[in-house]
Amino acid sequence: MGIMPLKEALDLAAKAGLDLVEISPTASPPVCRIMDYGKFRYQQSKKIQDARKSQTTIQIKEIRLRPKTEEHDLEVKIRHIKKFLQQNDKVKITMMFRGREISYADLGKKVMEKLRDALMDVGVIETHPRLEGRSMIMVIVPKK
């Protein structure tokens, strides 16, 4: 509507039964809009709710192993990991070493490689197996 005095703009908004809302106060002259402010706030809150609803949260599930975990127990753990990956969760696989087992870290690495090969169809390795203190950690994320 162009540049006009504040009193005139307020009168126009009152005649229309709407509100005069300041859009850009730092501009010279300030920019205002005639609108239903309550409706505008409601629409903004609905947009925020829809954005939150479509947002997904990725959880990190942890599976703990030992280097001497038996074959059948590994298969059970693999099934659990596959289920987690199909639910779009990250999986952190932790190989724990106790006592002198740490000297056989290569056995743990072999088990981790076996897990990696078994999970290639449903997941991608985000973090390759690395030794952190007395545990070896690997992170797998679901395939896109």
Question: Which tens digit of pLDDT belongs to each residue from 119-138?
Answer: 999 999 999 999 998 999 99
Q: Are residues 67 and 137 in the same domain?
A: yes
Residues linked to residue 131 through DSSP beta bridges, in sequence order? 136
Classify 39 as helix, strand or coil: helix
Q: What is the pTM of this model?
A: 0.63
More confident residue, 86 or 54: 86
Angstrom CA distances, 87 to 30, 104, 115, 122, stand at 51, 34, 18, 11
Q: Are residues 66 and 25 in the same domain?
A: no
The confidence band for 53, taking pLDDT boundaries of 50, 70 and 90, is confident
Instruction: Report phi then psi at 116, rounded to 5.
Output: -60, -45
Q: Return the CATH number at 133.
A: 3.30.110.10
Q: Are residues 118 and 68 in the same domain?
A: yes
In the chain, the N- to C-terminal Cα span, in Å, equals 50
Q: Are residues 40 and 81 in the same domain?
A: no
Q: Are residues 71 and 39 in the same domain?
A: no
Q: Are residues 85 and 127 in the same domain?
A: yes
Q: Return the CATH number at 13.
A: 3.10.20.80
Work out how many domains the chain is built from and give that number.
Answer: 2
Q: Are residues 89 and 136 in the same domain?
A: yes
For residue 33, which of 44, 43, 19 has the smallest C-alpha distance? Answer: 19
Q: Are residues 48 and 66 in the same domain?
A: no
Q: Are residues 45 and 65 in the same domain?
A: no
Evaluate whether residue 137 is within a structural domain: yes
Q: Given 38, 54, 70, which residue is the final one in a domain?
A: 54
Report yes or no: 80 and 93 within 8 Å, Cβ to Cβ.
no
Determine the pLDDT at residue 1. Answer: 79
Q: Are residues 101 and 45 in the same domain?
A: no
Evaluate whether residue 1 is within a structural domain: no
Domain interval for residue 111 = 60-142
Q: Each residue of 14-29: pLDDT tens digit?
A: 999 999 998 888 888 8
